[in-house]
A = this chain, B = another copy of it.
């Protein structure tokens, strides 16, 4: 261990004293207030640098009631889609002079509640959230809404009406496109491994799947439809069930890529030929889908586009805040695109 002494903190008062000016002038100079003589401003900036002055966000935030900080709550930073969204959000917010506090809920509702509490305590200027799959009650976001702080939900959004802005991918169309693609490839016996129906994601994807089946005159075998946490382990369990009898599916639509990849692994281990005997489609276009062989067909969600729209919307809301606009009433839907790969090939 080594020792370090606490040193003196320079404040605008120190700059004022050194320059024989009032703290008010220093504050104005540092905040690009119009009524400051150019020379004064230069002197102040120079002295600030010389003294190693750093603004204290807490003091200025307390006074001005603005933090220029945005809070973000997501289930996990390690999910490809979210990692990309974060990167875009951070970069774009930075251009507008906002900072970002990133928090992980680990897909735990109680953690999500605590994080919301903390971010509120930090008085963030806005909140962005991708909720957990189990979040049904959104009351822990009420305080933001009541306080006039814009809230943007993306990806996993409230199913019921809520006074916040919604930005989400077109899950219905994504599922519809993937299912139709499988059908066009000649599949008739299509299984669907989906997530918990508490989430809008899987409600919409399930609806898209059913609609596509119906539109093509195919019946859905309920034994082949799963709603479960989309883990690698659960995917294997589902695959075991699907292939434990003689009547087996000829295609699988998986609601995430982890499940699709597990299905590929299962098929390899069992000697089931993909795509010949079983075609597989996933969701999210995780980089792993392109690496595994056979490469997996998946649905691209354009995370960068999602991130960009989030920040655009946020900046808009923040700018209009004095007029009292805290959310967009219409959900913003980001289009998706099916990426066809070997796992659904007919050649």
* A residues adjacent to B (C-beta < 8 A): 1-7, 9, 52, 54-59, 61-62, 67, 76-78, 80, 83-84, 86-87, 90-91, 94, 99-104, 106, 111, 114, 117-118, 120-123, 143, 145-148, 163, 261, 287-288, 291-293, 320, 324-329
Nearest-neighbor residue (CB-CB) of A117 within chain B: B54
For A56, the chain B residues whose CB sits under 8 A away are 62, 121, 123
- Which of A7, A101, A163, A327 has the most C-beta atoms of chain B within 10 angstroms of its own C-beta? A101
Copies in the complex: 2
Nearest-neighbor residue (CB-CB) of A71 within chain B: B101
Contact B122 A163 (CB under 8 A): no
Contact A55 B121 (CB under 8 A): yes
Nearest-neighbor residue (CB-CB) of A325 within chain B: B1
For A328, the chain B residues whose CB sits under 8 A away are 1-2
- A5 and B145 CA atoms in complex are apart in Å by 9
Question: Given A59-B62, A77-B83, are A54 and B3 also a contact pair (CB < 8 Å)?
Answer: no
Contact B122 A58 (CB under 8 A): yes
Question: Given A148-B7, A291-B288, A324-B4, are A62 and B54 also a contact pair (CB < 8 Å)?
Answer: no
Contact A101 B102 (CB under 8 A): yes
- A55 and B119 CA atoms in complex are apart in Å by 11
Contact B326 A147 (CB under 8 A): no
For A101, the chain B residues whose CB sits under 8 A away are 101-102
Question: Given A4-B326, A99-B118, are A58 and B54 also a contact pair (CB < 8 Å)?
Answer: no
Contact B122 A106 (CB under 8 A): no
Contact B5 A324 (CB under 8 A): yes
- A7 and B324 CA atoms in complex are apart in Å by 12
Contact A6 B61 (CB under 8 A): no
- A33 and B253 CA atoms in complex are apart in Å by 57
- A143 and B326 CA atoms in complex are apart in Å by 38
A-B pairs with beta carbons under 8 Å apart, 20 shown: A1-B328, A1-B329, A2-B325, A4-B146, A4-B327, A7-B146, A9-B147, A55-B121, A56-B121, A56-B123, A57-B123, A58-B59, A58-B62, A78-B80, A78-B83, A78-B84, A78-B86, A94-B114, A101-B101, A292-B292
